[in-house]
Amino acid sequence: MSPGAVALCLLLMQTGVYGFGTELNLEFNNDFPCKKAGSQKHEDITQRAILNTTLQACHALALADGKDFSFPPQPFTAESVAAACPGSKSSKRFHQTIKFIQRMNRLVDSSHVSDPEYHFDNEKFAEGRRIITGGLAIVKASNKEMNFEAAREKLGEITHPLQDFYSHSNWVELGNTLPNTNLIRSGTSIGNMADLSRATCRNCDGDDCTNNILEDLEQERILTSGYFGFSKPEGKCSHGGFLDKSKEIEPKGGINKDEMDSEHGHLHTEAANVAVAATSDLLEDIRGAAGDRTFLQMMGISGKALCFVIDTTGSMSDDIAAVRTVTSSIINSKVGTEDEPSVYILVPFNDPDFGPLTRTTDPNIFKNAINSLSATGGGDFAEMSLSGLQLALTGAPPNSEIFLFTDAAAKDTHLRSTVIALIERTKTVVNCMISDVPIYRGRRQIGNDHHQQQQQQRQRRSVSSYVQLYRDLAQTSGGQTIEVTKSELSEAVTIITESSSSSLVTLLQAARSPGKAENFIFTVDESLKNLTVHITGRSVAFTIISPSGVSQQSTDTAGSLITASQTVGNFKNLKLKTEVGLWEMKLVSTNPYTLKVIGKSPIDFLFDFLEASEGSFGSFDVIDHRPRAGVKGTLLLTVTGIISATVTEVILVESSGSGNVNGKVRDVGGGDFLVQFNRIPSEEFVVLMRGQNINSSSRSSGTFQRQSSSSIKASTVTVTAADTNRVFAPGETLSVPFSVKTSGAGGTFTIQATNDRGFTSTFPSSLVLDTGGSANGTVTLTAPVTTTSGTDVTLTIEAESPGGTDTNYLVLRLSVLKTVTDFTAPMCKLPSLQSNCTENCSMSTWKLSVQVTDGANGTGIDRVSLRQGNGTMNTSLAAGNDNITLVSYTASCCSPDVELLVVDGVGNVGTCSYSVPQTPTDNSHQPTAIPAGSLSTKAVQSFLLCLGITILGLNLPFEMGIN
């Protein structure tokens, strides 16, 4: 049975069917936004397909690793799938990935509302397919380069037209219950499409449109889709719905199945089912091209990233040695466990260089990269630390934790706002490990003459200002700035080992500069383990009070609340006795300090601010930039790691401690909550959430508290970009139009545009805005001809108000892709299949030899792997012919089937299946190559029957060549 058949069965087994409603439809009722009722969403179709395909990948990976795997109960959820998959302790990243892909799907309706090819309207079948296959090429190329954010963005975009095909065309009306898999493959037949002059519809009978498609289309198996807008060719069907004016033109009515009450809403459930299966086919093709491990990384089923940004100038030898030690410790203790890092990232920097970025899933490759670092050079006191940090922020997954090691100032301080924008956008934590600063880079000895003593005093005075930059970055991100001597560094880096857990959550975080006496409270719930307090600052006294009233002061080393403590430099690490309930912590200091309370728990949250959409649907979109300051705001919050939770409070806590803004919370289902605020603070703030586990044994133990790590800064400035092509080829120049708008005072606004690849770019250095006005500009980027296909480029556009009092930004992902001309899947030829199988299968073996080729004009074989089979496979290149890959396979006769998965250089996927005869033989077979994810009627029906499920009228798609 093919993997696609299994996937379809799982899809059909799930209770409830979702559908085609679009956008985040939020309408304000009684001052609260709520989801539009009665429609089934693109988002839910997408989620169902992701959950099923992810489970299949996790199942296959577990089997390949020899591990047990249990499918969770129906209906699948992000929590249950993440828990079932190996190597995933937290569902937060998986949730975040699903929501991002859903959002990219939803945005097609607002950004391409007038483009019929994005919806398969107006019989734009060939054009719609080009969007899907072109986007699919970008997804595969991005995955190959581990640029997962770019892959997710394009994946979400192409799932929308793919799903719309089944709602907007007559595919379902023709009796098809399986997807049209040729929609994801160029150079194949989509079907017999209606000519422009051919009539396709008649008038509906009043409000009854069940029979408005002409009968000859079904008889001749002709494809059509509805027209949308103000006009249509004579005799053509309309899309229908309240926004479509063409439905009033004869033939009147429509054929869309977007909702249950649409003109063809009686087929909404059937269309949604096939759309889910089609989305699964797309994901299976991507999975086959990427491989299971890479696919799961793209989906966010993985541990935390381990990311180092390291100064490599002469005085950093001790720091590099400390990093080597902690790297070995993490690799030795965590590889093979649930806390194994999902990806390892290293960015070195010095002056004038930074990079390259090393990104790998292989711990040995990472260890070798660390071991190859050497501390050399020096001279200038400042280094390219922010350039290295920018590269790491764009190369690491969102919600990562980065450790920056340096003993010098930043030379590239002009990137400060860019780095802060990337921190806010990715919600990444940055920890700065600052070791003591020698006067001359590369030297350890300081002379005693008067001139050198004066120079030393001047540089000591400068230390405070340069360290403050790192403190600001760390504070914005929710990280620590740990200031130590070289001899203390090894002890300080133990924080990295603790921070590598994927289930780490933040309960409370605060920073005070200047310091002051203040009381902080936080709630510990029953799910929390490893309760830890981090304090940075000099001469900070504290008192901890537990829920039971027991207290312990910083001077009391014999107390019962602190189970372990560590003090190194300005950093204090306290391990607390875990006790459920309300804790209090009193801090006293006149020096600046930070406080962070963390622990391990599956319960966490995601959030995004919303704004009114400029599309035609009057709804709301997630914003990518800072929210507007001083006005009402709306936040969409998702609780992760628990399905039995309610949110009781959401508070915007001003970072200075000067005030809070409480929100009104509404549960909109599925773990989502909409929160409305009367005012967005003008100063930096964090999001604090309190909730209740409704299945907890008691209210006190079920109450939980979580806080965002990174701070948010609101703005009266907005930066937006036109929705234009964001894909360009090596050697080409791409133009990105953008707009800057202010709700405050006008003047000359400073513009800065940076990209993480160092591509040559142009942009206006300033724009003049009237009060409350806007202005437009354009950024151009040129990709070098040597750029690798699949490279993503992160473009950050910033606008700063006159005087530098207010800034905002826009972060865009661009893709560089070589033109794809190879659309043919690899093929297999079987020279021999030999077996000595007997009735006692355990005592005999069989073997085969296969020649795999991608054709004379193909891109070559990239990978051959086993999709089914427990035998041993070896591959080699044919002597004298690099276009042929030789595959040998040997297995026990107790494992009589094998399926090879073959991927070429651009991600075209072929599968070749063979079965051993039950009697000894030496046979040759004709080649068998089946596109990954294709379904056969027999396979689907057989599998469904074995589960007691019967589907009537299961028909093959016409002219699709499915084997």
Helices 317-334 and 363-371 pack at an angle, to 10 degrees, of 160
- Extract the tokens encoding 588: 């006293």
What per-residue confidence (pLDDT) applies to 88?
63
Q: Which of 484-488, 675-679, 898-902, 950-954 is predicted with the least confidence, judged by mean pLDDT? A: 950-954
Which stretches does DSSP call E strand in 525-592? 529-536, 541-545, 551-553, 562-568, 571-576, 581-588
What kind and span of H or E run contains 435?
strand 429-435
β-pairing, 192-193 vs 222-223, is parallel
Q: What sign does the CA torsion over 298, 300, 305, 309 have? A: positive
3-class secondary structure, 216: helix
pLDDT at 339 over 80: no
Calpha distance 100→153 (Å, rounded) = 7
pLDDT at 944 over 50: no
What per-residue confidence (pLDDT) applies to 46?
96
Read off the pLDDT band of 350 (50, 70, 90).
very high
Q: Which of 31-35, 140-144, 606-610, 652-656 is predicted with the least confidence, judged by mean pLDDT? A: 31-35
Task: Report CA dihedral (644, 646, 651, 653) to the nearest 10 degrees.
Answer: -20
Q: Which of 174-183, 215-224, 860-869 is predicted with the least confidence, judged by mean pLDDT? A: 860-869
3-class secondary structure, 440: coil
pLDDT at 448 over 80: no
Calpha distance 202→251 (Å, rounded) = 5
Average pLDDT for 344-370: 92
Calpha distance 28→40 (Å, rounded) = 20
CB 751 within 8 A of CB 697: no
pLDDT at 439 over 80: no
What per-residue confidence (pLDDT) applies to 87?
66
What per-residue confidence (pLDDT) applies to 89?
66
Read off the pLDDT band of 947 (50, 70, 90).
very low
What per-residue confidence (pLDDT) applies to 90?
77
Calpha distance 162→160 (Å, rounded) = 5
Task: Report CA dihedral (341, 149, 144, 347) to the nearest 10 degrees.
Answer: -60
Calpha distance 283→595 (Å, rounded) = 43
- Return the closest-CA partner of residue 599 out of 508, 528, 500, 501: 528
Read off the pLDDT band of 39 (50, 70, 90).
low
What's the number of CA atoms in the CB half-sphere (13 Å) around residue 131?
25
Helices 42-64 and 268-290 pack at an angle, to 10 degrees, of 40
User: Whole-prediction pTM value?
Assistant: 0.87
The per-residue pLDDT for range 585-602, each reduced to its tens digit, is: 999 999 999 999 999 999
Calpha distance 861→877 (Å, rounded) = 10
CA distances from 890 to 497, 833, 910, 926 (A): 43, 10, 21, 19
Read off the pLDDT band of 946 (50, 70, 90).
very low
Read off the pLDDT band of 334 (50, 70, 90).
confident
The per-residue pLDDT for range 167-214, each reduced to its tens digit, is: 999 999 999 999 999 999 998 999 999 999 999 999 999 999 999 999
Q: Which of 5-19, 352-366, 457-471, 633-647 is predicted with the least confidence, judged by mean pLDDT? A: 5-19
Helix ranges restricted to H, 569-683? none
pLDDT at 930 over 60: no
Calpha distance 125→139 (Å, rounded) = 21
Burial class, 860, CB count within 10 angstroms (exposed 0-12 / middle 13-18 / buried 19+): middle
What per-residue confidence (pLDDT) applies to 170?
97
- Extract the tokens encoding 459: 């540089």
The per-residue pLDDT for range 614-636, each reduced to its tens digit, is: 544 446 788 888 999 989 999 99
Count of all residues that appear for the chain in the document: 963
Q: What sign does the CA torsion over 877, 878, 883, 886 have? A: negative
Q: Which of 341-350, 425-434, 485-494 is predicted with the least confidence, judged by mean pLDDT? A: 485-494
Read off the pLDDT band of 891 (50, 70, 90).
very high
CA distances from 441 to 314, 349, 377 (A): 6, 14, 8
Average pLDDT for 599-617: 81
The per-residue pLDDT for range 693-704, each reduced to its tens digit, is: 988 766 667 899
**215 contacts: CB under 8 Å, gap ≥ 6:** none
CA distances from 688 to 71, 96, 580, 810 (A): 35, 18, 19, 25
Identify residue 927 by its one-letter amino acid code: P
**Other beta carbons within 10 Å of 894:** 13
The per-residue pLDDT for range 848-862, each reduced to its tens digit, is: 999 999 988 889 999
Read off the pLDDT band of 335 (50, 70, 90).
confident
Cα 600 → chain centroid:
22
Read off the pLDDT band of 63 (50, 70, 90).
confident
3-class secondary structure, 947: coil
CA distances from 815 to 197, 343, 533 (A): 39, 21, 41
**698 contacts: CB under 8 Å, gap ≥ 6:** none
CA distances from 457 to 316, 411, 436, 442, 461 (A): 22, 20, 14, 19, 6
Compute φ and ψ for 451, nearest 5 degrees: -60, -45
Average pLDDT for 920-942: 40
pLDDT at 567 over 60: yes
The per-residue pLDDT for range 805-817, each reduced to its tens digit, is: 899 999 999 999 9
Calpha distance 490→569 (Å, rounded) = 12
3-class secondary structure, 48: helix
Calpha distance 758→729 (Å, rounded) = 16
Average pLDDT for 728-757: 95
Burial class, 237, CB count within 10 angstroms (exposed 0-12 / middle 13-18 / buried 19+): buried
| DSSP label at residue 671 | T
DSSP characters over 160-223: HHHHHHHHHBSTTTTT--S--GGGGSTTS---EEPPTTS--B---BTTB-TT-B-HHHHHHTEE
Calpha distance 757→831 (Å, rounded) = 47
Cα 401 → chain centroid:
15
Calpha distance 663→681 (Å, rounded) = 12
pLDDT at 31 over 60: no
What per-residue confidence (pLDDT) applies to 487?
86
What kind and span of H or E run contains 94?
helix 92-111
Identify residue 672 by its one-letter amino acid code: D
The per-residue pLDDT for range 520-532, each reduced to its tens digit, is: 999 999 999 999 9
Calpha distance 207→202 (Å, rounded) = 13
Read off the pLDDT band of 451 (50, 70, 90).
low
What's the number of CA atoms in the CB half-sphere (13 Å) around residue 895?
14
Calpha distance 792→150 (Å, rounded) = 7
Calpha distance 898→892 (Å, rounded) = 11
- Extract the tokens encoding 626: 């800072």
> Degrees (nearest 5) of the Cα angle 911, 914, 917?
175
What per-residue confidence (pLDDT) applies to 648?
95
β-pairing, 429-435 vs 401-406, is parallel
- Extract the tokens encoding 400: 């990562």
Q: Which of 123-132, 252-261, 278-287, 832-841 is predicted with the least confidence, judged by mean pLDDT? A: 832-841
Identify residue 773 by its one-letter amino acid code: G
β-pairing, 660-662 vs 645-654, is antiparallel
Calpha distance 528→638 (Å, rounded) = 19
Range with the largest mean pLDDT of 134-143, 446-455, 456-465, 931-940: 134-143
CB 419 within 8 A of CB 393: yes
